[in-house]
């Protein structure tokens, strides 16, 4: 049965008690972003580069609201870590489309220290695009260690570790349709797979 509480039945590994952004709010936020992008790019073709894996859910929702010609490219940025702390970044760009002379929108799930977005933007810049803008689903307030800021932000959030709507903890919980705060007390129910 595709009930709204299906998640808790099928994935009993953790119960997220604190919902930060619910499904309705997420839908409205992505609508807002799509409207801003339409305003900015009008009918011009756009190449969206989605940082895997966290931004895939946002990508799927966003592209269906856009009407200009859209190409989709994937890039992977991973750090040496499970858990909740950032580590050194490795960028895999073997799945990238050619973006030379293209208008590019780079999207990521969350802007925390900002290192991921800055380093991936640098890599894309070397590929000779016409323009690059950045959009993030979440912007964690007060955590940035870089001077760059994302061009488009769907939601500002406090400094908490969040999961759901693409965001993971040890590769789980990306499929939750809302954003929840993963608190220390929730982890007792976390079962590593
Ligand atoms: P940054 O490089 O900006 O510090 O971190 C960006 C990356 O760190 C994101 O793509 C995401 O993978 C991870 N990250 C940062 N904060 C969170 C968080 O609160 N929850 C989750 N699940 N991942 C986070
Ligand atoms: Mg990530």
pLDDT, one tens digit per residue, over 123-146 is 999 999 999 999 999 999 988 899
| Known catalytic membership, residue 112 | yes
In a domain, 180, yes or no: no
CATH of the domain at 138: 3.40.50.2020
Considering the domain boundaries, does residue 150 fall inside one? yes
Give residue 32's pLDDT.
Answer: 98
4 pLDDT more than 50? no
163 vs 80, which has greater pLDDT?
A: 163
Q: Which residues pair with 86 in a beta bridge?
A: none
Residue 59: pLDDT band with limits 50, 70, 90: very high
Q: Please give the distance, rounded to the nearest whole angstrom, from the Cα atom of residue 57 to the centre of ligand 2.
A: 12
Look over the chain and give the mean of its residue pLDDT values, rounded to a whole number. Answer: 90
**Which tens digit of pLDDT belongs to each residue from 109-126?**
999 999 999 999 999 999
Q: Examine residue 43 and state whether it is found in any structural domain, yes or no.
A: yes
Q: What is the dihedral of CA 142, 144, 150, 156, to 10 degrees?
A: -30
pLDDT band of residue 12 (cuts 50, 70, 90) is very low
List pocket residues of ligand 1, CB cut-off 6 Å.
Answer: 54, 86, 108-116, 140, 161-163, 167-169
Q: Which of 108, 112, 126, 186 is catalytic?
A: 112
User: Which residue, judged by its Cα, is nearest atom 17 of ligand 1?
Assistant: 161
Q: Which residues of 148-165 are buried (b: 16+ CB within 10 A; e: fewer)?
A: eebebbbbebeeebbbbb
Residue-wise pLDDT for 84-105, tens only, equals 555 679 999 999 999 999 999 9
**Structure-block tokens of residue 127:** 């590929």
Span 17-29, mean pLDDT? 95
With a CB cutoff of 8 Å and minimum separation 6, the contacts of 184 are none
Domain around 117: 23-157
When divided into structural domains, the chain yields a total of: 1
Pocket test for ligand 1, best of 166, 167, 175 (most atoms within 8 A of CB): 167
Distance of alpha carbon 150 from alpha carbon 141, whole angstroms: 12
Please give the pLDDT value at position 155.
98
């Amino acid at each position: 049965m595709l009930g709204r509480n299906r998640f808790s039945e099928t994935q009993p590994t953790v119960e997220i008690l604190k919902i930060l952004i619910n499904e309705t709010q997420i839908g409205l936020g992505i609508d807002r972003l799509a409207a801003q992008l339409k305003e900015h790019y009008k009918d011009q073709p756009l190449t969206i580069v989605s940082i895997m894996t966290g931004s895939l859910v946002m990508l799927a929702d966003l592209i269906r609201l856009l009407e200009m010609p859209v190409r989709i490219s994937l890039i992977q940025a991973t750090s040496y870590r499970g858990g909740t702390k950032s580590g050194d970044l490795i960028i895999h760009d073997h799945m990238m489309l050619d973006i030379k002379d293209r208008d590019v929108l780079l999207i990521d799930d969350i802007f925390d220290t900002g290192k991921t977005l800055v380093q991936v933007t640098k890599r894309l810049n070397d590929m000779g695009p016409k323009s690059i803008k950045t959009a993030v689903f979440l912007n964690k307030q007060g955590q940035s260690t870089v001077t760059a800021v994302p061009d488009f932000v769907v939601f500002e959030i406090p400094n908490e570790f969040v999961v759901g709507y693409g965001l993971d903890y040890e590769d789980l919980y990306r499929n939750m349709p809302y954003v929840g705060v993963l608190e220390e007390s929730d982890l007792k129910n976390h079962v590593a797979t």
